[in-house]
Amino acid sequence: MKDPETIPIDLSIFSLDTVKRTALRYTSHYHVEIRELSSGTVEVALTPKETVPFASHLPRNFREDLLDQDLRSLIAQETQLACRLILAQAFSHLPLDADVTE
């Protein structure tokens, strides 16, 4: 088995959820392991699968993907309510200001 590329990540900057979602994008070409290094720090280990050539820019790509994923998390947090409103307005016959308690 090839040696893994390891990428330490500070969880005070990126959430564990963001790290996991980013790592998921690599599972088709890499064996992925996420392990705790110390309190507040994790390490993502990416080991190329047999048919995948080792990519020297892998850590850089992962960190850029991590930044993108962090943006997605921010968007999801901010737009969660708007998304529900749009879906409700689109697929129910209720007005947006309807009282739905009854």
Partner 1 sequence: MKAHALPILHSAFADENTFRDRQTDKYSLLPVRFIRLDATRYVATNIVGEYQVLTREELYNLVHHRLPMDSKLYEDLKSKHFLIDGDSLVAVELVAAKLRTRYYQTSSLTSLFLFVVTLRCEHACPYCQVSRRSMDKAAFDMSEETACKAIDLVFESPSHSIKVEFQGGEPLLNFDRIKFIVQEVERRNVNAGKDIAFVIATNLALIDDEMLTFCRLHNVDISTSLDGPADLHNANRPRPGGNSYEKTIEGITRVRHALGDSKLAALMTTTKASLGRERDIIDEYRRQGFNAIFLRSLSPYGFAVKTGAISGYDIDAWLEFYKRGLRYILDLNRSGEVFVEEYAAIMLRKMLTPYPQGFVDLQSPAGLGLAVLAINYDGHVYASDEARMLAEMKDHTFRLGKVGEVGLAELISSDAFIEMLESTMTEGMPLCSECGFQPYCGSDPVFHHATQNDMVGNKGASSFCKKNMEIARHLILLMEDSPEDARVLRSWL
- Which residues of this protein are in contact with partner 1, per CB under 8 A? 21, 24-29, 68, 71-72, 74-75, 78-79, 81-83, 85-87, 89-91, 95-101
Q: How far is the CB of 39 from partner 1 (least distance, A)?
A: 29
Which residue bears the tokens 């893994």? 4
Output the CA torsion 2→28→25→5 (10° steps): 0
Considering the complex, state which of residue 39 and residue 51 has its C-beta at the smaller distance from partner 1. Answer: 51
Considering the complex, state which of residue 7 and residue 23 has its C-beta at the smaller distance from partner 1. Answer: 23
Q: How far is the CB of 16 from partner 1 (least distance, A)?
A: 16
